[in-house]
Amino acid sequence: MKTAGVLIHESQFPENVRRDLVESLRARRINHKFHYDSVRQTEKWLALHQQFSPSRHDQNCQAIYAQAFRAAAARMKARRIHVIGLGCGGGQKDTVLLKLLKTGGKEIFYTPCDVSVAMVLTARGAALEVAPGKNCFPLVIDLASAKDLGQAIAANVPGRTSRLFTFFGMIPNFEPRDILPKLAAVVARDDLLLFSANLAPGRNYAAGMERILPQYDNPPTRDWLMTFLADIGIEKSDGSFGFRIETARNGLKRIAAWFHFQRRRTIKMGGDSFDFRPGEGVRLFFSYRYTPSRLERILAAHGLAIRKRWITASGEEGAFLCRRDWGTPQPAPAGPRR
Protein backbone atom coordinates (compact mmCIF):
# COMPACT_ATOMS: atom_id res chain seq x y z
CA MET A 1 0.00 0.00 0.00
CA LYS A 2 1.39 3.40 -0.99
CA THR A 3 0.80 6.40 1.26
CA ALA A 4 2.23 9.91 1.51
CA GLY A 5 2.29 12.18 4.53
CA VAL A 6 1.23 15.75 3.81
CA LEU A 7 1.52 18.58 6.34
CA ILE A 8 -1.40 21.00 6.01
CA HIS A 9 -0.84 24.41 7.53
CA GLU A 10 -3.73 26.15 9.27
CA SER A 11 -3.81 28.76 6.49
CA GLN A 12 -5.39 26.03 4.35
CA PHE A 13 -7.80 24.68 6.97
CA PRO A 14 -11.36 24.65 5.59
CA GLU A 15 -12.61 27.51 7.76
CA ASN A 16 -9.73 29.75 6.68
CA VAL A 17 -10.07 28.82 3.02
CA ARG A 18 -13.78 29.66 3.21
CA ARG A 19 -12.99 32.99 4.87
CA ASP A 20 -10.52 33.85 2.09
CA LEU A 21 -13.07 32.90 -0.57
CA VAL A 22 -15.77 35.06 0.99
CA GLU A 23 -13.34 37.98 1.20
CA SER A 24 -12.35 37.49 -2.44
CA LEU A 25 -15.97 37.50 -3.63
CA ARG A 26 -16.84 40.55 -1.54
CA ALA A 27 -13.85 42.47 -2.87
CA ARG A 28 -14.44 41.27 -6.47
CA ARG A 29 -10.74 40.36 -6.48
CA ILE A 30 -10.15 36.61 -6.50
CA ASN A 31 -7.24 35.23 -4.52
CA HIS A 32 -5.03 33.37 -6.99
CA LYS A 33 -4.93 30.28 -4.83
CA PHE A 34 -8.49 29.42 -5.78
CA HIS A 35 -7.37 28.62 -9.32
CA TYR A 36 -5.18 25.72 -8.10
CA ASP A 37 -7.44 24.20 -5.48
CA SER A 38 -8.90 21.10 -7.14
CA VAL A 39 -7.40 18.22 -9.08
CA ARG A 40 -9.18 19.42 -12.24
CA GLN A 41 -7.75 22.94 -11.84
CA THR A 42 -4.29 21.52 -11.24
CA GLU A 43 -4.49 19.40 -14.40
CA LYS A 44 -5.65 22.35 -16.50
CA TRP A 45 -2.94 24.61 -15.12
CA LEU A 46 -0.22 22.04 -15.77
CA ALA A 47 -1.48 21.62 -19.35
CA LEU A 48 -1.56 25.40 -19.80
CA HIS A 49 1.96 25.69 -18.43
CA GLN A 50 3.14 22.95 -20.77
CA GLN A 51 1.63 24.78 -23.78
CA PHE A 52 2.72 28.35 -23.10
CA SER A 53 5.69 28.36 -20.73
CA PRO A 54 8.98 29.26 -22.47
CA SER A 55 10.76 26.79 -20.20
CA ARG A 56 8.96 23.99 -22.06
CA HIS A 57 9.58 25.12 -25.65
CA ASP A 58 12.38 27.70 -25.77
CA GLN A 59 15.77 25.96 -25.81
CA ASN A 60 17.47 29.17 -24.74
CA CYS A 61 15.12 29.40 -21.77
CA GLN A 62 15.94 25.83 -20.84
CA ALA A 63 19.62 26.73 -21.13
CA ILE A 64 19.45 29.64 -18.68
CA TYR A 65 17.74 27.44 -16.10
CA ALA A 66 20.44 24.80 -16.56
CA GLN A 67 23.10 27.47 -15.99
CA ALA A 68 21.27 28.80 -12.92
CA PHE A 69 20.89 25.31 -11.46
CA ARG A 70 24.58 24.53 -11.96
CA ALA A 71 25.60 27.81 -10.35
CA ALA A 72 23.35 27.21 -7.34
CA ALA A 73 24.50 23.60 -6.95
CA ALA A 74 28.15 24.67 -7.08
CA ARG A 75 27.57 26.92 -4.07
CA MET A 76 25.98 24.18 -1.96
CA LYS A 77 28.99 22.55 -0.29
CA ALA A 78 27.26 20.90 2.68
CA ARG A 79 26.66 17.15 2.89
CA ARG A 80 22.98 17.58 3.81
CA ILE A 81 20.94 19.88 1.58
CA HIS A 82 17.33 20.93 1.97
CA VAL A 83 15.50 22.32 -1.09
CA ILE A 84 12.31 24.22 -0.30
CA GLY A 85 10.08 24.77 -3.34
CA LEU A 86 7.89 27.76 -2.54
CA GLY A 87 5.01 27.48 -5.00
CA CYS A 88 6.38 24.19 -6.30
CA GLY A 89 3.79 23.62 -9.03
CA GLY A 90 4.45 20.27 -10.65
CA GLY A 91 8.02 20.20 -9.30
CA GLN A 92 9.75 19.72 -12.66
CA LYS A 93 12.37 22.43 -12.14
CA ASP A 94 12.94 21.46 -8.53
CA THR A 95 13.56 17.85 -9.57
CA VAL A 96 16.22 18.86 -12.11
CA LEU A 97 17.90 20.91 -9.39
CA LEU A 98 17.72 18.02 -6.92
CA LYS A 99 19.48 15.75 -9.41
CA LEU A 100 22.38 18.20 -9.68
CA LEU A 101 22.62 18.56 -5.93
CA LYS A 102 22.70 14.83 -5.27
CA THR A 103 26.34 14.29 -6.08
CA GLY A 104 29.22 12.94 -4.05
CA GLY A 105 26.97 11.14 -1.60
CA LYS A 106 25.06 14.22 -0.45
CA GLU A 107 21.80 13.64 1.40
CA ILE A 108 18.89 15.52 -0.14
CA PHE A 109 15.72 16.72 1.55
CA TYR A 110 12.80 18.30 -0.30
CA THR A 111 9.83 20.33 0.91
CA PRO A 112 7.39 21.11 -1.92
CA CYS A 113 5.10 23.95 -0.78
CA ASP A 114 1.88 24.97 -2.49
CA VAL A 115 -1.76 25.77 -1.72
CA SER A 116 -2.91 22.63 -3.51
CA VAL A 117 -2.67 19.07 -2.18
CA ALA A 118 -2.64 17.86 -5.79
CA MET A 119 0.31 20.13 -6.61
CA VAL A 120 2.50 19.11 -3.67
CA LEU A 121 1.82 15.43 -4.32
CA THR A 122 2.67 15.88 -8.01
CA ALA A 123 5.93 17.60 -7.07
CA ARG A 124 6.68 14.90 -4.49
CA GLY A 125 6.08 12.21 -7.11
CA ALA A 126 8.50 13.88 -9.52
CA ALA A 127 11.16 14.20 -6.81
CA LEU A 128 10.98 10.57 -5.70
CA GLU A 129 13.33 9.56 -8.49
CA VAL A 130 15.99 11.61 -6.68
CA ALA A 131 15.04 11.84 -3.01
CA PRO A 132 13.58 8.97 -0.96
CA GLY A 133 10.05 9.35 0.32
CA LYS A 134 11.28 9.66 3.92
CA ASN A 135 13.16 12.82 2.89
CA CYS A 136 10.17 14.49 1.18
CA PHE A 137 7.89 16.69 3.27
CA PRO A 138 4.95 18.04 1.22
CA LEU A 139 3.54 21.21 2.79
CA VAL A 140 0.16 22.68 1.87
CA ILE A 141 0.33 26.34 2.85
CA ASP A 142 -0.86 29.76 1.74
CA LEU A 143 2.31 31.83 1.38
CA ALA A 144 0.31 35.03 1.37
CA SER A 145 -1.38 34.57 4.74
CA ALA A 146 0.89 32.22 6.74
CA LYS A 147 2.64 34.14 9.51
CA ASP A 148 4.91 31.29 10.56
CA LEU A 149 6.28 30.07 7.23
CA GLY A 150 9.76 29.48 8.64
CA GLN A 151 8.47 27.29 11.45
CA ALA A 152 6.31 25.25 9.09
CA ILE A 153 9.26 24.59 6.77
CA ALA A 154 11.52 23.50 9.61
CA ALA A 155 8.92 21.26 11.24
CA ASN A 156 9.99 17.94 9.71
CA VAL A 157 13.60 18.10 8.54
CA PRO A 158 15.88 16.43 11.12
CA GLY A 159 19.13 18.07 12.13
CA ARG A 160 21.07 20.85 10.44
CA THR A 161 20.97 21.27 6.67
CA SER A 162 22.14 23.77 4.09
CA ARG A 163 19.03 25.34 2.57
CA LEU A 164 18.18 26.40 -0.96
CA PHE A 165 14.83 28.07 -1.58
CA THR A 166 13.21 28.08 -5.02
CA PHE A 167 10.48 30.47 -6.07
CA PHE A 168 9.77 29.69 -9.71
CA GLY A 169 7.06 31.54 -11.61
CA MET A 170 5.47 32.89 -8.43
CA ILE A 171 6.52 36.50 -8.01
CA PRO A 172 4.25 37.79 -10.84
CA ASN A 173 1.13 36.67 -8.95
CA PHE A 174 1.82 38.51 -5.69
CA GLU A 175 1.82 42.15 -4.71
CA PRO A 176 5.54 42.81 -4.10
CA ARG A 177 4.85 44.54 -0.78
CA ASP A 178 3.08 41.40 0.47
CA ILE A 179 5.42 38.60 -0.59
CA LEU A 180 8.92 40.09 -0.58
CA PRO A 181 9.06 40.79 3.18
CA LYS A 182 8.04 37.16 3.74
CA LEU A 183 10.80 35.90 1.47
CA ALA A 184 13.36 38.14 3.14
CA ALA A 185 12.24 36.97 6.58
CA VAL A 186 12.48 33.25 5.81
CA VAL A 187 15.81 33.32 3.92
CA ALA A 188 18.56 33.11 6.53
CA ARG A 189 22.13 34.40 6.28
CA ASP A 190 23.59 31.22 4.79
CA ASP A 191 20.61 30.32 2.58
CA LEU A 192 20.30 30.74 -1.16
CA LEU A 193 17.20 31.86 -3.02
CA LEU A 194 16.80 30.87 -6.67
CA PHE A 195 13.77 32.24 -8.45
CA SER A 196 12.42 33.17 -11.82
CA ALA A 197 10.47 36.15 -13.05
CA ASN A 198 8.43 36.78 -16.15
CA LEU A 199 9.82 39.85 -17.89
CA ALA A 200 8.55 42.44 -20.34
CA PRO A 201 10.88 42.10 -23.35
CA GLY A 202 12.63 44.95 -25.09
CA ARG A 203 13.59 48.46 -24.05
CA ASN A 204 10.05 49.84 -24.17
CA TYR A 205 8.15 48.57 -21.14
CA ALA A 206 4.68 49.25 -22.55
CA ALA A 207 5.48 47.72 -25.95
CA GLY A 208 6.91 44.66 -24.25
CA MET A 209 3.67 44.18 -22.35
CA GLU A 210 1.65 44.30 -25.56
CA ARG A 211 3.95 41.73 -27.08
CA ILE A 212 3.33 39.09 -24.40
CA LEU A 213 -0.43 39.71 -23.95
CA PRO A 214 -1.40 36.75 -26.23
CA GLN A 215 0.30 34.37 -23.76
CA TYR A 216 -2.60 35.16 -21.43
CA ASP A 217 -5.45 36.18 -23.71
CA ASN A 218 -6.21 32.77 -25.21
CA PRO A 219 -8.83 29.99 -24.98
CA PRO A 220 -6.85 27.61 -22.70
CA THR A 221 -6.37 30.36 -20.11
CA ARG A 222 -10.08 31.23 -20.26
CA ASP A 223 -10.95 27.57 -19.80
CA TRP A 224 -8.67 27.28 -16.76
CA LEU A 225 -10.08 30.44 -15.15
CA MET A 226 -13.63 29.39 -15.95
CA THR A 227 -13.16 26.27 -13.80
CA PHE A 228 -13.24 28.38 -10.64
CA LEU A 229 -16.29 30.34 -11.77
CA ALA A 230 -18.18 27.17 -12.66
CA ASP A 231 -17.32 25.62 -9.29
CA ILE A 232 -19.02 28.49 -7.44
CA GLY A 233 -22.11 28.51 -9.68
CA ILE A 234 -21.30 31.08 -12.38
CA GLU A 235 -22.00 30.03 -15.95
CA LYS A 236 -19.97 30.94 -19.02
CA SER A 237 -23.03 32.60 -20.55
CA ASP A 238 -23.28 34.97 -17.57
CA GLY A 239 -20.58 37.21 -18.99
CA SER A 240 -17.34 37.48 -20.90
CA PHE A 241 -13.62 37.52 -20.24
CA GLY A 242 -11.40 40.52 -20.74
CA PHE A 243 -7.62 40.78 -20.55
CA ARG A 244 -5.93 44.13 -20.14
CA ILE A 245 -2.64 45.75 -19.22
CA GLU A 246 -2.76 47.71 -15.98
CA THR A 247 -0.25 50.00 -14.28
CA ALA A 248 -0.18 49.59 -10.51
CA ARG A 249 0.54 52.37 -8.04
CA ASN A 250 4.10 51.12 -7.67
CA GLY A 251 4.68 51.79 -11.38
CA LEU A 252 4.84 48.11 -12.29
CA LYS A 253 2.72 46.84 -15.15
CA ARG A 254 0.64 43.69 -15.03
CA ILE A 255 -1.75 41.73 -17.17
CA ALA A 256 -5.11 41.25 -15.48
CA ALA A 257 -7.92 38.86 -16.41
CA TRP A 258 -11.47 40.01 -15.66
CA PHE A 259 -14.90 38.46 -15.95
CA HIS A 260 -17.55 41.04 -16.86
CA PHE A 261 -21.15 40.12 -16.08
CA GLN A 262 -23.72 40.61 -18.82
CA ARG A 263 -26.65 39.36 -16.79
CA ARG A 264 -27.47 39.18 -13.12
CA ARG A 265 -26.20 36.20 -11.16
CA THR A 266 -26.66 35.52 -7.45
CA ILE A 267 -24.67 32.80 -5.74
CA LYS A 268 -25.08 31.55 -2.18
CA MET A 269 -22.36 30.12 -0.02
CA GLY A 270 -23.51 28.96 3.38
CA GLY A 271 -25.03 32.02 5.01
CA ASP A 272 -23.47 34.45 2.53
CA SER A 273 -25.04 35.70 -0.69
CA PHE A 274 -23.25 37.48 -3.52
CA ASP A 275 -25.18 39.43 -6.14
CA PHE A 276 -23.39 40.22 -9.41
CA ARG A 277 -25.11 42.74 -11.65
CA PRO A 278 -24.75 43.44 -15.39
CA GLY A 279 -21.71 45.59 -16.09
CA GLU A 280 -19.93 44.51 -12.91
CA GLY A 281 -16.48 42.97 -13.16
CA VAL A 282 -14.51 40.50 -11.08
CA ARG A 283 -10.73 40.35 -11.35
CA LEU A 284 -9.78 36.70 -11.56
CA PHE A 285 -6.03 36.87 -12.03
CA PHE A 286 -3.07 39.19 -12.51
CA SER A 287 0.53 38.70 -13.54
CA TYR A 288 3.17 41.37 -13.02
CA ARG A 289 5.89 41.70 -15.62
CA TYR A 290 9.20 43.12 -14.52
CA THR A 291 12.33 44.38 -16.20
CA PRO A 292 15.69 43.27 -14.76
CA SER A 293 16.46 46.76 -13.43
CA ARG A 294 13.04 47.17 -11.82
CA LEU A 295 13.33 43.75 -10.25
CA GLU A 296 16.77 44.45 -8.81
CA ARG A 297 15.57 47.72 -7.24
CA ILE A 298 12.48 46.24 -5.66
CA LEU A 299 14.36 43.22 -4.29
CA ALA A 300 17.07 45.44 -2.83
CA ALA A 301 14.41 47.54 -1.10
CA HIS A 302 13.36 44.37 0.75
CA GLY A 303 16.84 43.19 1.66
CA LEU A 304 17.34 40.67 -1.15
CA ALA A 305 20.43 41.04 -3.33
CA ILE A 306 20.82 39.46 -6.77
CA ARG A 307 24.20 37.72 -7.03
CA LYS A 308 23.83 36.28 -10.52
CA ARG A 309 21.24 36.53 -13.27
CA TRP A 310 20.42 34.73 -16.49
CA ILE A 311 18.09 36.35 -19.04
CA THR A 312 16.66 34.63 -22.11
CA ALA A 313 17.54 35.93 -25.56
CA SER A 314 13.87 36.84 -26.01
CA GLY A 315 13.98 38.96 -22.87
CA GLU A 316 10.78 37.32 -21.60
CA GLU A 317 12.13 35.34 -18.67
CA GLY A 318 14.95 35.47 -16.19
CA ALA A 319 16.44 33.34 -13.43
CA PHE A 320 18.07 35.02 -10.43
CA LEU A 321 20.30 33.74 -7.64
CA CYS A 322 19.92 35.78 -4.46
CA ARG A 323 21.06 36.08 -0.88
CA ARG A 324 19.78 38.17 1.99
CA ASP A 325 21.49 41.55 2.16
CA TRP A 326 21.92 42.05 5.88
CA GLY A 327 23.07 45.63 5.39
CA THR A 328 19.66 46.68 4.08
CA PRO A 329 16.85 47.43 6.54
CA GLN A 330 13.90 45.14 5.94
CA PRO A 331 10.45 46.75 5.73
CA ALA A 332 7.80 45.31 8.03
CA PRO A 333 5.37 42.96 6.27
CA ALA A 334 2.27 44.73 5.01
CA GLY A 335 -0.85 44.16 7.08
CA PRO A 336 -4.08 42.80 5.62
CA ARG A 337 -5.71 45.10 3.09
CA ARG A 338 -9.38 45.87 3.43
Average pLDDT over residues 30-40: 86
Fold classification of 7-202+291-324 (topology level): Rossmann fold (3.40.50)
Q: Is the pLDDT of residue 23 over 70?
A: yes
Q: In 250-326, which ranges are E strands?
A: 253-261, 265-269, 272-276, 281-289, 304-311, 317-324
In tens, the pLDDT along 42-91 reads: 788 778 777 766 666 678 888 999 999 999 999 999 999 999 999 998 89
Average pLDDT over residues 230-253: 94
Q: Cα dihedral angle (206, 211, 212, 218), rounded to 10 degrees?
A: 120
Q: Cα dihedral angle (98, 170, 165, 177), rounded to 10 degrees?
A: 180
Q: Is the pLDDT of residue 239 over 50?
A: yes
Residues 80, 162: Cα–Cα separation, whole Å: 6
pLDDT at 57: 65
φ and ψ of 310, to 5 deg: -135, 120
Residues 95, 337: Cα–Cα separation, whole Å: 36
Q: Is the pLDDT of residue 134 over 90?
A: yes
Residue 242 or residue 38, greater confidence: 242
The domain ranges of the chain are 7-202+291-324, 205-289
pLDDT at 86: 97
pLDDT at 328: 52
Q: How many C-beta atoms lie closer than 10 Å to residue 23's C-beta?
A: 14
254: helix, strand or coil: strand
Given a contact cutoff of 8 angstroms between Cβ atoms, the answer to whether 48 and 220 are in contact is yes
- pTM across the whole model: 0.89
Residues 103, 79: Cα–Cα separation, whole Å: 9
Given a contact cutoff of 8 angstroms between Cβ atoms, the answer to whether 35 and 228 are in contact is yes
- Burial class of residue 129 (count of CB atoms within 10 Å of its CB; 0-12, 13-18, 19+): exposed
Strand partners of residue 282: 259
pLDDT at 232: 93
Least confident among 109-118, 131-140, 200-209, 325-334 = 325-334
- Burial class of residue 79 (count of CB atoms within 10 Å of its CB; 0-12, 13-18, 19+): exposed
**What DSSP string runs through 82-106?**
EEEEET-TT-HHHHHHHHHH--TT-
pLDDT at 12: 95
pLDDT at 338: 31
Given a contact cutoff of 8 angstroms between Cβ atoms, the answer to whether 219 and 213 are in contact is no
Across the chain, mean pLDDT equals 90
